Amino acid sequence: MNESETTRSAMTGPLTAPDRVEFIGGGLTHFDRTRDAYSRPAPGLSVTELRSFGLGNRVFNTRWVEAPASVSGFDGLGPLFIRDSCSGCHLRDGRGRPPHEGESDDLASFVVKVSARSKRARRRLAAEIGPQLHTAAISGVAAEGILSLEYVEVSGTYADGSLYSLRAPVLKLRGANAKLPRDLELSLRVAPAVFGLGLIEAVAASAILEHADPDDLDGDGVSGRPNWVSSLVHEGQQVGRFGWKAGAATLTDQAAMAALDDIGLTSSLLPRSNCAPSQDSCREMFQSGQADLSDRLLDSLVGYLRLLGVPARTAVGNIDSLERGYEQFTRMGCALCHRPAMVTDDTHPLPLLRDQTFFPYSDFLLHDMGPGLAGVSIEGIATQREWRTPPLWGIGLLEQVNGHTLLLHDGRARSIEEAILWHGGEGKSAREAFRKSSTAQRSALVEFVQSL
Amino acid sequence: MQTEIFRFNDAPIDAPATSARAEGPESRINAWPVNEAAIDYVRGRPGSGLVNSPEPATEQLILDRNQSTDESDVTTGWHAIEFLLWGQDENLLGPGQRPAKDFEPGDLSRENRRAFLRIVSRILVRDLDYLADVWRRDSPGSYAQQLLAMDPLEVIGRALQGATSLVSIELAGERLAVALDSGSQEDEHSCFSDTTHLDLLHDVLGVSNFLEGRYEGERTGAGLLELIAWKSPSLGKRLATALATAQLEAANLHVPFDQILQLSSDRPERRQAERTVTAMHELALALKASAESLGLHIVVPGV
Q: Which residues of chain A lie closer than 8 angstroms to B89, CB-CB?
A: none
Amino acid B69: pLDDT: 83
What's residue A260's pLDDT?
Answer: 98
B219, containing H or E segment: strand B218-219
Does residue B17 sit at the A interface (CB-CB below 8 Å)?
Answer: yes
Residue A13 reports pLDDT greater than 50: no
Instruction: Look at B16 and A34 and tell me if their CB atoms are within 8 Å.
Output: yes
Q: Which residue of B has its CA nearest to A64?
A: B35
> Using the beta-carbon criterion (under 8 Å), do B186 and A71 form an inter-chain contact?
yes
pLDDT at A124 over 50: yes
Question: How far is Cα A220 from Cα A214, in angstroms, rounded to an integer?
Answer: 12
- What is the pLDDT at residue A70? 61
Predicted confidence band of residue A19 (pLDDT cuts 50, 70, 90): low
Distance from CA of B13 to the nearest CA of A (A): 11
Contact assessment for residue A166 and residue A418, using Cβ atoms and an 8 Å cutoff: yes
**Residue A10: what pLDDT?**
35
What per-residue confidence (pLDDT) applies to A21? 78
Q: Which of B181, B189, B299 to mutate to test the interface with A (most CBs of A within 10 A)?
A: B181
B69 and A107 in contact by Cβ < 8 A? Answer: yes
Confidence of residue A102 (pLDDT cuts 50, 70, 90): confident
B16 CB neighbours in chain A (<8 A) are 32-35, 37, 400
pLDDT exceeds 70 at position A315:
no
Q: Which of B27, B174, B281 sits opposite A54 (nearest CB)?
A: B174
Q: Residue B34: phi, psi to the nearest 5?
A: -105, 125
Query: Once rounded to an integer, what is the mean pLDDT over residues A127-137?
Result: 93
Chain A contact set for B182 (CB, 8 A): 55, 58, 73-74
pTM of the predicted structure, to 2 decimals: 0.94
A142-194 pLDDT, tens per residue?
999 989 999 999 999 999 999 999 999 999 998 887 888 999 999 999 999 99
Q: Residue A215: which pLDDT band, with cuts at 50, 70 and 90? A: very high
The ipTM assigned to this model is 0.93
Interchain CB contact of A107 with B (< 8 Å): yes
At residue A18 the predicted structure's pLDDT band, cuts being 50, 70 and 90, is low
* Residue-level pLDDT at A11: 36
CB–CB contact B68 A403 (8 Å): yes
B188 lies within 8 A of chain A by CB: no
Q: Does B44 reach chain A within 8 Å, measured CB to CB?
A: no
pLDDT score of A5 more than 70: no
Yes or no, beta carbons of A50 and B186 under 8 Å apart: no
Q: Is B183 on the interface with A (CB under 8 A)?
A: yes
- The confidence band for A71, taking pLDDT boundaries of 50, 70 and 90, is low
HEC sequence for chain A: CCHHHHHHHHHHCCCCCCCCCCCCCHHHEECCCCCCCCCCECCCCCHHHHHHHHHHHHHHHCCCECCCCCCCCCECCCCEECCCCHHHHCHHHCCCCCCCCCCCHHHCCEEEEEEECCHHHHHHHHHHCCCEECCEECCCCCCCCEEEEEEEEEEEECCCCCEEEEEEEEEEEECCCCCCCCCEEEEEEECCCCCCHHHHHCCCHHHHHCCCCCCCCCCCCCCCECCEECCCCCCCCEECCECCCCCECCHHHHHHHHHHHHHCCCCCCCCCCCCCCCCHHHHHHCCCCCCCCCHHHHHHHHHHHHHECEECCCCCCCHHHHHHHHHHHHHCCHHHCCCCCEECCCCCCCHHHCCCEECCCCCCCEEECCCCCCCCCCCCCCCCCEEECCCCCCHHHHHHHHCCCCECCCCCECCHHHHHHCCCHHHHHHHHHHHCCCHHHHHHHHHHHHCC
Cβ–Cβ of A50/B301 closer than 8 Å?
yes
Nearest neighbour of A400 by CB, restricted to B17, B24, B300: B17
Cβ of B23 under 8 Å from any chain A Cβ?
Answer: yes
- Closest Cβ opposite residue B70 in set A44, A45, A88: A88
- Say if residue A356's pLDDT is above 90: yes
**Cβ pair B68:A47 closer than 8 A:** no
* A94 at interface of B, judged by CB pairs closer than 8 A: no
Query: If you average pLDDT over residues A330-339, what whole number do you get?
Result: 97
Predicted confidence band of residue A6 (pLDDT cuts 50, 70, 90):
very low
User: Predicted confidence band at A16 (pLDDT cuts at 50, 70, 90)?
Assistant: very low
State how far residue B23 is from chain A, nearest Cα, in angstroms. Answer: 7
pLDDT of residue A4: 36
Residues of chain A above pLDDT 90, percent: 82
Q: pLDDT tens digits, residue range A276-287?
A: 999 999 999 998
In this structure, of A27-36, A198-207, A293-302, A438-447, the range with the lowest mean pLDDT score is A27-36
Residues in chain B where the model's pLDDT stays below 70: none
